[in-house]
Amino acid sequence: MGFNASKVITNKRLDGKTALITGSNTGIGKATAKELYRLGARVILACRDIKRAEDALLQIQNEVRNEDKVGELVIKHLNLSSFSSVRKCAEEINLKEENLHFLINNAGVMVCPEGKTEDGFETHFGVNHLGHFLLTCLLLPKIINSAPARIINVSSDAHKFGVMHWDDLNYEKKRYSAIGAYAQSKLANVLFTMELAEKLKAKSVAVYSIHPGIVRTDLGRYVDKTFFWGAHWITSLVFMPFYKTPDEGALTILHCALKESDEFSGCYFSKDREKLPQFVTERAYPEVVHNIGDKTINWRFLESIQPPKVVHVRCLDVITKENIFSQITVRFHTQQILAVYDRFGRLIHGNEQLPKDVLEYVVFEKHLSNKYGKWRIHDKIIPSWMPPKEPSRKTHIISE
């Protein structure tokens, strides 16, 4: 069955617009490039392997050969594991391109063996986050001058299991975990999106992070090497019923790129065309665990400033349509005290005399298909200044 961007948005043309897509020689990057090219955009295929990029260019042109008013395809070399390559690519774009309306940071690696980038960073963090971070920063003046513009960071639902090891981002102090490293890099994508959106909110540049779904691509090419021979085949068999095609996986990217409104800039989009921000738009970050053994924390609740308010409700299916659960996000506006002292008793953060206003977001979850289901506190999203303590991993059941 045919697929094109009309499934996402109608009567939209991108003539005169320029888009750069990393990793666009295969998978959802290639599928996204095809649709933007179909709509008349000048699409820059920023890829590590020039030969594969050339093959992808010819395939895209062949697939839309019967379309009228297509755009233009251009190839640029980009190796995200090398800062020098990123700088060279950005320099060429800034020099030769008049505008850049769409930056789609799509390329990435997943569960690869332990290793380092050319610049000495853990491979997942270096390629998936730092390479794109540097590219975005170098192209930002061009993007701002081209506004209205969009920056889209392809993350993953794996970010929900990620932990930012701020004192050991390269896994040099702890045992290497391919899955943990991948999840950390995807969480970094989401946090980067939130902060960048905050800084660009007055610049007419919207920033989104997205989860494309479980897509059949070559992203899992390292699975056998990392785990054991045949692991890729087994995981493919398990996820077979849930696989999307690359064209289907591109839907969420296309929605964020083509939708008229800049609403929800900074949010995380999951599922096809659904606005599902997993983090609130206020500045909220995961807890930072750093040197907790050497610190003394004085943290206490004072009072509620406003009654709790429901800010987000959603219902989703889990694997099957019969297994439905709902989530309700409630905002609590309170006053609290925080003071953190080092091991010598010196105040290093906060103040015991000055209360702080706190916006806390608590996510409550319940399986609706089970009549005996209980509401549970599923997750808690808190401000960055909260105490650096270990977050609870328990599910708290609420009595009805």
Give the DSSP per-residue string, 43-81. Answer: EEEEES-HHHHHHHHHHHHHHTTT-SS--EEEEEE--TT
Annotation: CATH topology of 5-271? Rossmann fold (3.40.50)
The mean per-residue pLDDT over the stretch 165-176 comes to: 90
How confident is the model at residue 111, as a pLDDT? 81
Q: What is the DSSP string of 160-190?
A: GG----TT-TTSSSS---HHHHHHHHHHHHH
Write the pLDDT tens digit of every residue in 71-111: 999 999 999 999 999 999 999 999 999 999 999 999 999 88
Please give the Cα distance from 106 to 19 (Å, whole number): 12
Residues written for the chain = 400
Beta strands in 155-258 (DSSP E): 205-210
CATH 3.10.450.240: which residues of the chain? 277-381
For residue 191, give the nearest of 102, 275, 283 by alpha carbon: 283
DSSP SS3 for 316: strand
Fold (topology level) of 277-381: Nuclear Transport Factor 2; Chain: A, (3.10.450)
CA atoms within 13 A on the CB side of 47: 23
pLDDT at 158: 82
Token readout for 364 is 């409550």
Q: Give Cβ neighbours of residue 14 (< 8 Å, ≥ 6 apart).
A: 36, 39, 40, 41, 71, 101
What the block records as the tokens of 197 is 């959106």
Alpha-carbon gap, residue 185 to 58, rounded angstroms: 32
pLDDT at 97: 97
Question: What's the token pair of residue 180?
Answer: 């943990």
**pLDDT tens column, 19-44:** 999 999 999 999 999 999 999 999 99
Residue 381 is predicted with a pLDDT of 62
Where does CATH 3.40.50.720 sit in the chain? 5-271
Q: Which residue has the higher pLDDT, 299 or 145?
A: 145
- Which is catalytic among the residues 171, 182, 268, 361? 182
Report the range of poorest mean pLDDT among 282-286, 323-327, 391-395: 282-286
Average pLDDT of span 346-364:
78
One-letter amino acid for residue 274 of the chain: E
Pick the closest to residue 13 from 32, 37, 50, 40 (CA basis): 40
The 3-state DSSP composition of the chain as helix, strand, coil percent (nearest 5) reads 30, 30, 40
Annotation says 182 is catalytic: yes
- Tell whether the torsion through CA atoms of 255, 258, 260 and 266 is positive or negative: positive
